[in-house]
Chain A
Amino acid sequence: MNGDLKMNMVLNRNKIKVLVAKPGLDGHDRGARVLCRFLRDSGYEVIYTGLHKTAEEVANAALQEDVDVLGMSFLSGAHESYVPRILDILKKNGVDLNDMVILVGGTIPEEQFKKMIDLGVDGVFIPGAPMDEISDFIDLKIKEKRDKSSDQHYFVGTKLIKAEDLV
């Protein structure tokens, strides 16, 4: 606990706001709820959308809450239609994706990782990825975006890679 506290003060996570979203029709959110609790216990401020949200609802929530991180969880392959629509609405409303960390989690086939990144996603997490890696990646990405770092990283599936190694 002490370590957590110290970590939190260094990283100032409690000023980082994360929206965990469940867009689409799938009715399972155990994973999303577990993630919410993990992130809260790691010191972030977490907002959960609940199940069955439309693309418009998710994008509007991210916009109004002005979140630092938007994490979207999918189980049913719905990411292919939802991710582009949500990011599109955000951009139309003046959100700069260089200003928000975008994560996608769930059953995403490997051959689609690149496509997600090209859309503006920063990290793709598949089931089994240790949650610590999610929080580490959030901290790294927030710093890279804030500092407009020339060294940008992505997370694809189970590993952290540099932008230039993305194929």
Chain B
Amino acid sequence: MMVQDIIDGIKNKDIKSLARAISWIEKEREEGIELIRNIYPYQKEETHIIGITGFAGVGKSTLSSRIIEKYRSMGKTVGVVAIDPSSPFTGGALLGDRLRLGSLSLGSSMWTDPGVFYRSVSNRGRMGGLSRMTGDIITIMSVFGFDKIIIETVGAGQSEVDVIKVADTSVVVLMPGMGDRVQFAKAGILEIADIFVVNKSDLVGAERVRQFLEEMLNFTDYRKGERRDGTSEEWKIPIVMTIGEYNNLKGIDELVQKIDEHFDYLVSTGRLKEVRKKRAKSEIETLVSDIVVSLCYKNHSVDLDEFAKKVSNKKIDQYTAAEKIIEKTMTENDIVNLNTSHYL
């Protein structure tokens, strides 16, 4: 299919075109980059991007489904990107998030609701990195015109944390009995929360998790610390206690209300523009370094092994080697007519 057909399809709200466009991004096809170049001006300013993160098994997919249902009852359309890890050995993956999406056998179906689009993707085998892929998928979904876009990802490791930084509002989900404080802190996901959720609050220990979070939030270092938008003083990070299972639901309305309040806050204070500018900046930074790195190594006149030999034989130092590689690349390449898609 041609890029123009897909663009027209997306503008006409054709699901097949939307699905195919996302596949181009997922499969790192050249058409994906061309598509983004053509549709970026049509992103909806008012799209609200919500990140949901936390360790495996805390109930992120279950909660996402309840959040989707709530938004649908409010007449909002929802696009979802659910990211699951893949096996480091085979590259294969079981993308299990969709399993939790409410279906007809349990009540009303989010699977067939025309206001819901759900996409499962795996986190591996992407040279350009997870956050670039996620950012591009969100761009496409925003052009399609969803009111809310939800990204679900397992909050383990830096690349996963980076993914959540593309969100306007990030929700960090915890549950009772999950490791000690050090483990939370180490994962680096506490710092990015705009909202904390203690899910499975039907289980013992939920109150303890909440107390721990409250103590941490009262700790001034945290609140004055490196908040990505410098908002810690104005936005009081809420802690919402939830139960995601149908037979025992709790806290979903409150959670959705907090998520929307956070967006209203971003909009009314003008901080949304800052958040998005920051995101754009980090996107550009990653792209520039990805392209430069790839330019250097795809250039056949640069023989990395040769340089490595010289450095290890103490013929030259590593700084000189790096300078030589970049110099050689810059002088020998047609930097004027750079075609990015050859290097990504």
Contact = CB atoms under 8 A, between A and B. Distances in A.
A1 B89 CA distance: 8
A113 interface: no
A106 B117 CA distance: 30
Interface string B14-32: 1110011011001100000
Chain B at the A interface: mostly helix, strand, loop or mixed?
A: mixed
How many chain B residues sit at the interface, stated as a range, is 20 to 34
A57 B112 CA distance: 6
Interface stretch (A41-49, A71-79, A126-134, A153-161): A41-49
B92 A13 contact: yes
A43 to B, nearest CB: 4
B95 A57 contact: no
B94 A40 contact: yes
Interface in A39-76: 39-54, 56-57, 60-61, 63-66
A51 B19 CA distance: 24
Contact of A64 (B87, B89, B105, B117): B117
B92 A53 contact: no
Contact of A4 (B22, B89, B124, B125): B89
A37 interface: yes
A14 B112 contact: no
Given A40-B87, A43-B90, A94 B103 contact: no
A61 B104 CA distance: 13
Contacts of B22: 66
B93 interface: yes
A50 to B, nearest CB: 5
A8 B90 contact: yes
Contacts of A65: 19, 98, 118-120
Contact of B16 (A15, A43, A95): A95
Contacts of B109: 54, 56-57
B92 A43 contact: yes
A41 B90 contact: yes
Contacts of B205: none
A85 to B, nearest CB: 13
Given A52-B105, A65-B119, A46 B23 contact: no
A94 B111 contact: no
B90 A47 contact: no
B77 interface: no
Interface string B73-114: 000000000000011011111111011000111000101100
Cβ-closest 6 pairs across A and B: A14-B91, A66-B19, A57-B111, A52-B105, A40-B92, A94-B16
Given A41-B92, A46-B95, 10 more contacts: A14-B124, A40-B94, A41-B90, A43-B90, A45-B122, A49-B98, A61-B111, A64-B118, A64-B119, A93-B15
